[in-house]
Copies of this chain bind each other. A is one copy, B any other.
Amino acid sequence: MHIAITGAAGFLGQRLVQQLLARGELRQQPITRLTMLDQVEAPLPEAGDVSLAALALDITAPGALDSVLDQRPDVIYHLAAVVSSAAEADLELGMRVNFDATRALLEGCRAKELTQTRLIMASSVAAYGGALPAVLDDMTALHPQNSYGAQKAMCELLINDYSRRGIIDGLVLRLPTIVIRPGRPNAAASSFASSILREPLNGEEAICPVPVELPMFVMSPGKVVEALIHGAEVPSKSLAPFRAFMLPGITVTVAEMLEALRETAGEKALSLVRHEPDSRIEAIVAGWPARFETAKAKQLGFTGDDSFKQIIDAFVTEQQ
């Protein structure tokens, strides 16, 4: 079992690498080779018997992936991407990395006849937008309101069509907002959702810029990585007629997130959260869909977090 991962030095890529090495097998076959691709050189973890390579390359360069595809990986995780704000600031960059590189990867697989290779890409809740219904489901149209979402939605169509034609065995998982991310607060509108938990758990102050009634659709990093792994194992005949769908996140209000924080870390932690409304952030986050029926994902055996409390506890355990 040879697995290749683009964006392997990133947040999800790194966790996926660790999880795959910890499991040692995929599809009941021992993992013998793992190839990490990223423009940043990924650190080489302890890998036991697995033949590990970390290649620093720009996936948008012509033929960049040829040598990896020549090795006929059984599973390719395509996680390299530029984030929403970067794709909005620079249309060319977003098109090149988020769309053209995906197309080149598909064409590479086609040239090498990797018809049995499972290609798994991460799409996003940002692909949704416009006049959304109260509860979204697998048949809700994608009307993205940012270039990142449009590029992801175009990749979904392309991967589905190449899979339907039998060129590749593709799958696209739309990820809920990932909470709790490690690190520091940043400029992303979603930053607060991790920050209001992570900082107080570390005894630091955090700012909540939105009303506590605001609902969000979230998934823990652990469950997302579990879904990426499960995505390699679902039978391909169960994926038609459309190979892109939302993962089963859970819907929680900010108030419920904070209540779970209180249960785990007490009143003192909760008191570290300062409420400073920011109408710009509220407007962005309020536009994100928060309620989904994820029938397809559930039917295929993807699972979400049991509760928000569990998300917090997993974060605390991981940090120890």
Contacts and interface: CB of A to CB of B under 8 A. Distances in A.
Interface of A: 91, 129-133, 138-145, 147, 150, 153-154, 157-158, 160-161, 164-165, 241-242
Contact of A130 (B132, B142, B158, B242): B242
A141 B144 contact: no
A147 B141 CA distance: 18
A129 B240 CA distance: 11
Give the dominant DSSP class at A's interface: loop
Contacts of A161: 144, 147, 150
Residue of A131, A141, A145, A165 ringed by the most chain B CB atoms within 10 A: A141
A138 B139 contact: no
Contact of A154 (B91, B129, B144, B158): B158
A273 B144 CA distance: 46
Nearest to A153: B157
A131 B165 contact: no
Given A139-B131, A241-B131, A242-B130, A157 B160 contact: no
A166 to B, nearest CB: 11
Candidate in A131, A145, A161, A241 with the most chain B CB atoms within 10 angstroms: A161
Given A132-B139, A154-B154, 15 more contacts: A130-B241, A130-B242, A133-B139, A139-B140, A139-B143, A141-B142, A143-B160, A144-B160, A144-B161, A145-B164, A150-B157, A150-B158, A150-B160, A154-B157, A157-B157
20 contacts: A91-B165, A129-B241, A129-B242, A130-B242, A131-B241, A139-B143, A141-B142, A141-B242, A143-B160, A143-B241, A143-B242, A144-B157, A144-B160, A145-B164, A145-B241, A147-B161, A147-B165, A154-B154, A154-B157, A154-B158
